[in-house]
Amino acid sequence: MTSSRRLYAVFLVLLTCVLAGFGARAAADEPPATSLPHHFTFGVVPQFEQRKLFAIWRPILDEIERRTGFVITLTGSPRIRDFEKDFANGAFDFAYMNPYHVVQSGYNHSNSYLPILRDGGHVLQGIIVVYKDSPLQSISDLKDTEMVFPSPNSLGATLLIRSELKRRYGIEVIPKYVQTHSSVYLFVAKNLAQAGGGVASTLSLERDEVKNRLRVLYQTPPIPPHPITAHRRVAPEHRDAVMRAFLEFAQTAEGQRALRQVPIDELISTSLIDYRSLSSLDFRGYRVE
């Protein structure tokens, strides 16, 4: 090999090394690839008006986001009927719903919801409230009375009460729907309705000036309370991450204060086993499809 060729070969080797060094430094200087956060929607059955509902749930979900690294959008439905249409269409990844909604969504098909968390310290009981000085003193006094309810398909506040009155006492009432539990209590407290349907847990959260004007006339037998659910499309590892975050948050003083507003007093894990018995409830004639 001639001298010039040897020099050219050495030059090529040196150039290759220099370029390789630049490439290595450039790769080292690049920021590490990061995956985008997972986005999920969270629906809440509208037991309260929208501002109160968001004031309760948004701080909770902010903490769940912090603990999981997920982005969780709180999706509000103005009425229970709207909420039911949304979850029937699979609009939510996670949702806080009444127990019968679990039954409605189905147990096995791909668009159903799986209960993952619930209150272990409370049960769901429908209540009938009347004005504190109302002449209505017994269940029989309710016959053919106009009663206010949140919505036709509200489980504890409407369906349990109406089916129980008919099945056990042979009593029908005249229903009027006012959208939320809070509206029911306000109507009765202001003597705008003779009686109303709600649930014990939401009544406990009402302002004293409303509660002090009401009297509980009747309570239904208890059933498992509202669960936090996950849509079946949510990957098990993401479902478990959200469940762990809720349970860990519930162990803190801040979490206990926040969850009490839902209201949830003792958050525990749950499954479909706790809710299968509800499939035997018969609400024919009362449910509105």
Instruction: Give the torsion through C-alpha atoms of 142, 144, 148, 151, to 10 deg.
Output: 120
The secondary structure of residue 120, as a DSSP letter, is: S
Angle at 205 between CA 119 and CA 139, to 5 degrees: 90
The span from the CA of 139 to the CA of 126, in Å, is 14
- Tens digits of residue pLDDT in 184-229: 999 999 999 999 999 998 999 899 999 999 999 999 988 899 999 9
pLDDT category of residue 24 using cuts at 50, 70 and 90? very low
Check if the beta carbon of residue 42 is closer than 8 Å to that of residue 91. Answer: no
Residue bearing the bigger pLDDT, 74 or 4? 74
Extract long-range pairs of 83-90: CB within 8 Å, 24+ residues apart: 83/43, 83/44, 83/45, 83/46, 84/153, 86/43, 87/43, 87/113, 90/231, 90/233
CATH number of the 39-122+224-280 domain: 3.40.190.10
Report the predicted TM-score, pTM, of the whole model to 2 decimal places: 0.70
pLDDT tops 80 at residue 30: no
Q: Do domains 39-122+224-280 and 126-219 have the same CATH topology?
A: yes
- Tens digits of residue pLDDT in 142-199: 999 999 999 888 889 999 999 999 989 999 999 999 989 999 999 999 999 999 999 9
Q: What percent of the chain has pLDDT over 70?
A: 87
Pull the structure tokens for residue 244.
């762990």
Closest CA to 87 of 127, 43, 55: 43
CATH number of the 126-219 domain: 3.40.190.10
pLDDT tops 50 at residue 252: yes
Residue ranges covered by each domain of the chain: 39-122+224-280, 126-219
Check if the beta carbon of residue 190 is closer than 8 Å to that of residue 60. Answer: no
